[in-house]
Amino acid sequence: MKPTDTSELGLERLIVRHLAGISEHPSVPANTVQQPQAVYALGGYVLGRASDYNRDVALDVVQLLAFLQATQSKAVDTLELAAEGIKRTQFLHRLQGEITKRGVVDVLRKGVSHVPVHVDLYKLLPTPGNAAAKDAFGKNIFSVTRQVRYSNDSGNELDLVVFINGLPVLTFELKNSLTKQTVADAIVQYQTTRSHRSCYSSLGAASRTWRSMMSRCASAPS
């Protein structure tokens, strides 16, 4: 019988597997051209890739563009977001600026206006019997990404980040009581090694810490 993995890495895999059905993307041969794929499971989450996180704007650009293309393709065309370039960069910085100013929750609820277009960043819960709204809500992308390097200024990584449509809403630092670390250590880590000048902390995202191997959540201080 295979022994239980009681390490922080084991807990990380367990959480991600519960949310997304898998804890790692399948390996592929070198130099293989891949198409982005959403991997969903019963938990309803996509397993994101740390490489898709843009540290300059603190967004998972792949998930953001996938949501916009699925829900507002005309806006994508009007704003020229499909291809990399100055137009996409301007929009991403506009979005990051609004999140910094208003907070991620307000931006998710109310969206942003950019040039002539208003862009929704989240499709709200539907009212009973509203089939169109139900279909729109189902296009929201909830994703979880492991080991996210959040800043260009350091090599520090967050154990887990949860995104909604590419916008980060929760961050996690996992601690294991078996290695003599508790939630207090995670709080100190947020206070001392997670720079408040970095993009991830300016988003207004709710930081969360998993409490040891018991998986109890505690809010990290602002």
- Nearest Cα residue to 92 out of 120, 122, 65, 52: 65
Q: Is 46 buried (19+), middle (13-18) or exposed (0-12) by CB count in 10 A? A: buried
Closest CA to 207 of 182, 185, 187, 179: 187
Average pLDDT over residues 185-199: 59
19-39 pLDDT tens trace: 888 888 876 555 444 444 444
176 token code pair: 């294991």
Predicted confidence (pLDDT) per residue in 48-66, tens digit: 999 999 999 999 999 999 9
pLDDT top residue among 117 and 205: 117
Mean pLDDT, rounded, of the chain: 78
Q: What pLDDT was estimated at residue 180?
A: 64
Asked if 170 and 71 count as a contact pair (C-beta separation under 8 A), the reply is no
pLDDT above 50: residue 174: yes
Q: Output the pLDDT for position 53.
A: 93
Report which of 197, 207, 202 is spatially closest to residue 96, judged by C-alpha positions. 202
How does residue 191 score in pLDDT terms, banded at 50, 70 and 90?
low
> CA-CA distance, 167 to 75, in Å (whole number)?
18
pLDDT at residue 199 in the model: 47
Q: What pLDDT is attached to residue 113?
A: 95
Look at residue 40 in the predicted model and tell me its pLDDT: 47
What are the Cα distances from residue 139, in Å, to 34, 60, 63, 122, 221? 22, 16, 11, 9, 32
Alpha carbons within 13 angstroms on the beta-carbon side of residue 76 total 14
Task: Quickly tell me which residue has 């709204």 as its tokens.
Answer: 133
Q: Tens digits of per-residue pLDDT, 65-96?
A: 999 999 999 999 999 999 999 999 999 999 99
The first and second tokens of residue 116, run together, are 């002539």
> What does each C-alpha distance from 179 to 4, 7, 24, 117, 183 come to in angstroms?
15, 8, 24, 52, 12
